[in-house]
Structure 1
Amino acid sequence: MLEEYLPLILNGVGGAVLGPIVAKLLRGGAGGGLLGGIIGGIAAGFGAEQAGMNDLVTNGTDMMMYVQNLLEGGVGGGVLGTILGLIMKRR
């Protein structure tokens, strides 16, 4: 039951961890970085799975699949977290 939701959970965790870090490094605000990181991480992971890009890094091992899910979430969370951080910072 948890196996089908584990990639999305890991995407969200990767986005929540890396989203605020990337948003702060790119001079965005950290407030939008966390929420943007979680949403962007889940969206990036879902989009990568639907596009068939879920086996780019992995060699079929479960541990590499977990790492890839965290990285996908971090990339998506960083992008959306930076955008939301910049928008919220201007207000």
Structure 2
Amino acid sequence: MIRPLGDRVVLRRREAEETTKSGIVLTGSSKEKPQEAEVIAVGPGGYVDGNKVEMEVKVGDKVLFSKYAGTEVKHEGEEVIVVRQNDILAIIE
């Protein structure tokens, strides 16, 4: 288990679509990594640059995150992304 510190959040990417809306099958190299993910761990918040940060996401939330955000890490055979909360753009409801 990864336990993030401060305002960091651990995300698991949602699977990329295999076909386009028009039915074209994409090969592995042409698929773009999705920017949708599930929150699997949340840091405690705290202070960033002297400002108190309250965590707005929770484990299980589906979120959209910035395209170039975070650090990809392989942990126990699974690829996850560690991002700061401000790299999360929205919660998907």
Q: Is TM more than 0.5 here?
A: no
Structure (1 or 2) with the greater strand fraction: 2
Relative contact order (alpha carbons < 8 A, sep ≥ 6): 1 or 2 greater?
1
* TM-score where L is the length of structure 2: 0.30
**Structure of greater Rg:** 2
* TM-score where L is the length of structure 1: 0.31
